[in-house]
Amino acid sequence: MAQFLQVFSRSISASSSAMAQIKHVTVIGSGLMGSGIAQVAAATGHNVALVDQTDDILGKSMANMNKSLQRVAKKKFADDPKGGETFISEIISRIKTETDPTVPAANTDLVIEAIVENLDVKQKLFKSLDEAAPQHTIFASNTSSLPIGDIAASTKRLDRFGGLHYFNPVPMMKLVEVIRTPDTNDETFKSLVDFGKAMGKVTVECKDTPGFIVNRLLVPYMLEAVRLVERGDASPRDIDTAMKLGAGYPMGPFELADYVGLDTTKFIIDGWYEKFPENPLFQPSPLLNKLVSEGNLGMKTGKGFYSHKK
Ligand SMILES: CCCCCCCCCCCCCC(=O)CC(=O)SCCNC(=O)CCNC(=O)[C@H](O)C(C)(C)COP(=O)(O)OP(=O)(O)OC[C@H]1O[C@@H](n2cnc3c(N)ncnc32)[C@H](O)[C@@H]1OP(=O)(O)O
Ligand SMILES: NC(=O)C1=CN([C@@H]2O[C@H](COP(=O)(O)OP(=O)(O)OC[C@H]3O[C@@H](n4cnc5c(N)ncnc54)[C@H](O)[C@@H]3O)[C@@H](O)[C@H]2O)C=CC1
């Protein structure tokens, strides 16, 4: 009987610790996505550690978050600029920056990874985090295209690993896809859904299938657009106009590719081509490859399919 009670109380405490509300979040990668995720997590009351490779990169991310928050505050505090300043400074004060991911990971409830779209680099990061983070910490990746199970395989916490796939720009886009692998346990999955909702997002659930829901549909559409241009059938400008005015999309496929980043876009296509080489859909795009090889990565560099003011 004593043994049964011990096991019973251990399982209660394990499950209640896994179910504990997520308060401290570590976001790794402070680029387009990581900075947006950190900003919204802090704006919804979470304590956030934001990690990147250098203090210089982190400084630029903090400045970008400030700009985004100014846009939010301008609307929210239209008649109260002082209130707007307090709003911004309170959110910013909940974000600490760090260059060593293992430091905040040692004391965090959730790690959200938003680094470069490369399986080896993500696996290497999570392997080191697995050694540093406590038992209860949940790991999540914001990958656009890599299998969550492949990233999780670098750790010993397959049951506490899932996907949280946000959309760009995170402060404006209302969706987060919550991904469970066959190993993700129910407590972890529920914590991830609850966290998505606590960030003010609408959550949808998806299995660990290539592209999840949105990118499974979006990537073929965008690739068809680039093939139209490569065949000389229509210009990027006309395709964008057509999809905005004819299909009601807020951005056309080329504007969106520049917004997402052509480097990230290429990582996604190259990864799927390597995995599904026989699929005609994922054949490399000479036009995209040319732009990336010239360092024209879209809005982040000031030039991609279009020129952008920096
Ligand atoms: C064709 C090339 C082929 C390549 C191969 C294909 C590869 C496939 C790549 C797939 C990539 C997948 C990436 C991924 O995993 C998933 C994604 O995230 S996909 C991207 C999803 N996002 C979208 O689709 C964005 C669509 N665009 C919009 O919704 C709007 O355009 C946007 C909200 C971005 C901007 O709105 P717009 O009216 O155009 O401009 P404004 O500047 O006037 O903004 C409106 C409004 O919003 C406020 N705002 C905008 N950005 C921010 C921000 N970052 N922070 C805070 N606030 C922001 C702004 O202040 C305005 O507010 P007002 O009150 O209206 O003034
Ligand atoms: N750009 C987009 O629209 C979307 C991207 N994603 C995914 O989010 C992830 C990040 O994408 P972006 O933010 O666009 O990329 P980004 O290039 O803007 O930012 C990536 C950041 O990660 C940092 N980084 C790289 N390796 C690191 C490491 N080992 N440790 C710490 N930091 C490291 C880089 O310095 C950079 O600041 C990718 O997996 C991408 O597929 C998901 C949804 C939308």
Annotation marks residue 255 as catalytic: no
pLDDT per position as a tens digit, 93-128: 999 999 999 999 999 999 999 999 999 999 999 999
* Ligand with smallest separation from the Cα of 219: 1
DSSP-assigned states of every residue in 186-228: HHHHHHHHHHHHHTT-EEEEEES-TTTTHHHHHHHHHHHHHHH
Q: What is the pLDDT of residue 264?
A: 96
Of the candidates 61, 215, 285, 296, the residue annotated as catalytic is: 215
Cβ contacts of 161 within 8 Å, gap of 6 or more: 138, 139, 140, 148, 151, 152, 155, 181, 183, 184, 188
Cα–Cα nearest to 262, from 232, 240, 237, 294: 294
Q: How many CB atoms lie under 10 A from the CB of residue 189?
A: 18
In the three-class reduction of DSSP (H, G, I as helix; E, B as strand; rest coil), residue 35 is classed as helix
pLDDT per position as a tens digit, 35-62: 999 999 999 999 999 999 999 999 999 9
Residue 256, both tokens: 């969106």
CA pair distance 215, 209, nearest whole angstrom? 10
pLDDT per position as a tens digit, 281-303: 899 999 999 999 999 999 999 99
- pTM (2 decimals)? 0.94
Residue bearing the CA closest to ligand 1, atom 37: 250
Question: Do residues 23 and 198 lie in contact, with contact meaning Cβ atoms separated by under 8 Å?
Answer: no
Q: What is the pLDDT of residue 309?
A: 85
pLDDT(8) > 60: no
Q: How confident is the model at residue 12 (pLDDT cuts 50, 70, 90)?
A: very low
Question: Do residues 142 and 166 lie in contact, with contact meaning Cβ atoms separated by under 8 Å?
Answer: yes
Distance 307 CA to ligand 1 centre (A): 17
Cα–Cα nearest to 58, from 106, 110, 104, 96: 96
Does the C-beta of 271 come closer than 6 Å to ligand 2? no
Distance 169 CA to ligand 1 centre (A): 5
Q: How confident is the model at residue 9 (pLDDT cuts 50, 70, 90)?
A: very low
Q: What is the pLDDT of residue 310?
A: 72
In the three-class reduction of DSSP (H, G, I as helix; E, B as strand; rest coil), residue 48 is classed as strand
Place of tokens 């796939």: 165
Question: Do residues 143 and 171 lie in contact, with contact meaning Cβ atoms separated by under 8 Å?
Answer: no
Average pLDDT of the chain to the nearest whole number: 94
- What integer is the mean pLDDT of 252-279? 96
Strand order across the 202-207 sheet:
95-98, 47-51, 24-28, 110-113, 138-141, 161-166, 175-180, 202-207
Residue bearing the CA closest to ligand 2, atom 38: 117
117 is in an annotated binding site: yes
First-residue to last-residue Cα distance in the chain: 69
